[in-house]
């Protein structure tokens, strides 16, 4: 089992998957840890989130400021639509 740590992906899904292919990442035995800023700036934040979510227990996330900002926006939108 290998543990790979990445940071500042910023929604660059294709670059992330290319990197994982290059290191022969195997979600069945390896672990991927994102140390912040998984989303924002790049063109494919949603795809990046879905991909990492689908890794299940093979993925851990430490939230960065961009991730926290997205969560705050989602929470704010939900609170606004509550009434």
Active-site residue set:
66
d(CA 3, CA 27): 10
């Amino acid at each position: 089992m290998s543990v790979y740590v990445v940071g500042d992906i910023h929604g660059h899904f294709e670059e992330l998957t290319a990197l994982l292919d290059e290191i022969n990442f195997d979600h069945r035995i390896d672990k991927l840890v994102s140390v912040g800023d998984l989303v924002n700036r790049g063109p494919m934040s949603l795809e990046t989130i879905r991909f990492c979510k689908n890794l299940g227990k093979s993925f851990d996330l430490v939230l960065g400021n961009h991730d926290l900002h997205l969560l705050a926006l989602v929470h704010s939108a939900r609170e606004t639509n509550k009434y």
